[in-house]
Amino acid sequence: MKIYGNSRLLGQTARMVSAGREPHSIMIHGEKGLGKKTMAKYLAAQLMCEERTGIPCGRCRACQLIEKGAHPDLIFAQANEKGNYIVEEIRDNIIADAPVAPNEGDIKVYVIPDFDLSIQTSVQVQNILLKLIEEPPDHTALILTARSRETFLSTIISRCVSLSMTPVTLQESGEFLQENYPDRPMEDIREALEAGKGNIGRCRAYMEQEQFYNSVGLARQIAAAYAGGSEYGFLKALAGAEGKKPLLREALYLFSEIVRDAGVHLAGGEAVGCDTNAAKALSSRLTLSAAAELYDKVNSYIRRIDANCNLALLCNSLCADLFS
């Protein structure tokens, strides 16, 4: 199991484990694609590895079972089809199970991934987890992951070790791509690196031509139409999402990043979004305050998508708003 970058985090948790100060409650936060779930699995291996050095050995029974996804004491909570953790799942499979001794070693690890996607039940579930977090049995550890730390109640935040995932360097993303896609042409790798930058999840999704790949294409068209002052082109680009909500949402989010990068470019900083050249092109048409205003506007429309607004009306209204 290899974690790219984030060496400060790895060092922090390794020191805790090797000193026998294993944390019982951990939250991992950071934007989509930064490797929160991989980090949760690595942390579990740090806690469960028989060598107890803080660096999973990869050879012991615990490490091998974790690698195969077959360790009986590493338990991932299951969300329902809507992405919500229902109260019964957490109560029956975590709270009721926690007092029971581990099957293999001396620790059981529960992971609840993508906690922030469980919008409807998040507060309820956190309240149920609070007791386990306040008084954990010696043999348990709980790992929660979410895009933002703000997902969590303050009572939870104050009792968890908080780990913030950061993007990796371009060099580290490049290493990931070369190691995982050795047969792909250099041009593909360069393209994925430009689109995903230091976000390895995005680089991978681009290579695999998952939704992110299409979202990047749309975001580029949206940015080009806006930079060119073409209202028709802008509407046409939005229509390219064909009414698919996740695709439109991601494309607008990536466009907002390009807008932010345009502002960052004006202020003399470095781009982190999916298209540095598009950001530069846009920056020649915007002032810093206009970029900030545009960024806020686009994000307000993203929130309207999240609130289940009619997508066709939303596209028309966004276009009218931005070209008025």
Interface positions with Zn ion (CB under 5 A): 49, 57, 60, 63
Nearer to Zn ion, 57 or 309 (CB): 57
Nearer to Zn ion, 54 or 167 (CB): 54
> Within 10 A of 243 (CB to CB), how many other CB atoms are there?
11
179, two tokens? 């190691």
Ramachandran class of 6: left when φ > 0, alpha when ψ lies in -120 to 50, beta otherwise:
left
The distance of closest approach from Cβ of residue 11 to Zn ion in the complex, given in angstroms and rounded to an integer, is 18
Nearer to Zn ion, 17 or 278 (CB): 17
Nearest to 278 by CA among 224, 215, 237, 322: 224
In a 10 Å sphere around its CB, with 0-12 CB exposed, 13-18 middle and 19+ buried, how is residue 56 labelled? Answer: buried
CA dihedral 218, 234, 244, 181 (to 10 degrees): 0
Task: Give, in degrees to the nearest 5, the angle at Cα 103 between 98 and 106.
Answer: 75
Nearer to Zn ion, 57 or 290 (CB): 57
The distance of closest approach from Cβ of residue 206 to Zn ion in the complex, given in angstroms and rounded to an integer, is 33
The distance of closest approach from Cβ of residue 171 to Zn ion in the complex, given in angstroms and rounded to an integer, is 28
Count CA atoms closer than 13 A to 303's CA, side-chain side: 6
The distance of closest approach from Cβ of residue 60 to Zn ion in the complex, given in angstroms and rounded to an integer, is 3
**How does DSSP classify residue 142?**
E
Nearer to Zn ion, 49 or 193 (CB): 49
Nearer to Zn ion, 45 or 161 (CB): 45
- What distance in Å separates the CA atoms of residue 152 and residue 287, rounded to the nearest whole number? 36
The distance of closest approach from Cβ of residue 172 to Zn ion in the complex, given in angstroms and rounded to an integer, is 24
Nearer to Zn ion, 68 or 303 (CB): 68
The distance of closest approach from Cβ of residue 17 to Zn ion in the complex, given in angstroms and rounded to an integer, is 11
Residue pair 79/85 in contact (Cβ under 8 Å)? The answer is: yes
Nearest to 165 by CA among 39, 46, 47: 39
The distance of closest approach from Cβ of residue 47 to Zn ion in the complex, given in angstroms and rounded to an integer, is 11
Q: Exposure pattern of 86-108 as b/e (b: 16+ CB <10 Å)?
A: beebbeeebeeebeeebeebebb
